[in-house]
Amino acid sequence: MMSVANNGWGVFIESNKVKLSKVGVSECASKSTIADTNWHHIAVTHNGTIATFYIDGKADTSITYSNTFTSTGSYTIGSRGNSQFFEGRIDEVRVWNKVKASTDINTQRCIAISVNESNLRAYYKFEEGTGTAIIDSTSNVNHGTISNGTNLWVSSSGQCATSGIFEKELLDMGIFATTFNKAIQINIPENVDLTSNNEIHIYNIAGTLIYQGLINPSNRAYTVQSNEFSNGLYIVHVQTATNGIYINKVMISE
């Protein structure tokens, strides 16, 4: 899914396993496999000696892998070099020059993060919508150009990992959250089970919880107004005890 050809590294899926490689030298792999077509979050950390694979926010395995990565030059997302293309959709790609803590990997996996986080070297949101440029949202301006692909943009309702706060699956119920006059309107479809213990959580782009409220099983329409809603991107979670977690992204603007 991402690689650097010049004395570099690659993170990719092969034989349904997540792999980290030093290009042309060796590779190591996750223990678990990903063999479905759902959204998943993957992360790989490397401290110079140990590579740790995370799938959907959970540490999968740690492996002794002492290769040093001293890559320079450009890198590709969605292919290994200019071949072996990834057959799927990709969202929220982040490159760091530090080993992220497991708690950070878990809590940040389903939200957009601040572009000003320390040690964040590149951040691609895939929300441009048009054109051929892939924008690095950090100040490092590691922008890219689309080649060999179309319709790469990920809509505001894109999903991520398959386990969440309640250790249940993140599910798709389409667009259920919209904005109007700096309020977020939420309409929950009839096919979503709201029998008990359901909540609405709203996070800002930095991952801060700014609203939390209970859902009345007899009421499926909510308007959430808050003084915290300045212009920007917000992540809306509808968390159900029986089904799982549903996520939409919404943008508030004047």
* DSSP 8-state code for residue 104: H
Question: Which amino acid makes up residue 27?
Answer: E
* CATH fold for domain 170-252: Immunoglobulin-like (2.60.40)
Long-range CB contact pairs, 218-223, < 8 A, 24+:
220/187, 220/188, 220/189, 220/190, 220/194, 221/185, 221/186, 221/187, 221/188, 222/185, 222/186, 222/187, 223/183, 223/184, 223/185, 223/186
| Distance from C-alpha of 109 to C-alpha of 112, rounded to nearest angstrom | 8
Which tokens sit at 176? 């259920």
2-145 classified as CATH 2.60.120.200? yes
What pLDDT, on the 0 to 100 scale, is given for residue 194?
82
For residues 91 and 109, the answer to whether their CB atoms sit within 8 Å is: no
Per-residue confidence in pLDDT tens, the chain, 254 aa: 676 666 678 899 989 999 998 877 899 999 999 887 777 889 999 998 999 999 888 889 999 998 887 776 788 888 876 677 888 888 889 999 999 998 888 878 877 788 888 999 999 988 877 888 888 999 999 998 888 766 677 654 334 543 333 334 445 556 677 888 778 888 888 878 887 778 888 887 767 788 888 888 888 899 988 766 788 878 888 877 666 677 787 888 76
| Distance from C-alpha of 18 to C-alpha of 34, rounded to nearest angstrom | 8
Strands 170-171 vs 245-252: parallel, antiparallel or unpaired = parallel
The alpha-carbon radius of gyration of the chain (Å, integer) is: 19
Torsion of CA 99, 100, 102, 107, to 10 degrees: -170
What pLDDT, on the 0 to 100 scale, is given for residue 111?
76
What pLDDT, on the 0 to 100 scale, is given for residue 164?
34
CATH 2.60.120.200 domain locations along the chain = 2-145
| Distance from C-alpha of 88 to C-alpha of 154, rounded to nearest angstrom | 11
Enumerate residues 6+ apart whose C-beta is below 8 A from 191. Answer: 173
What pLDDT, on the 0 to 100 scale, is given for residue 67?
85
| Distance from C-alpha of 65 to C-alpha of 82, rounded to nearest angstrom | 26
Q: Which residues pair with 22 in a beta bridge?
A: 9, 26
Q: Can you give the pTM of this predicted structure?
A: 0.63
CATH 2.60.40.3580 domain locations along the chain = 170-252
Which tokens sit at 226? 């808050």
What pLDDT, on the 0 to 100 scale, is given for residue 168?
40
pLDDT in tens, 63-84: 999 888 777 678 888 887 667 7
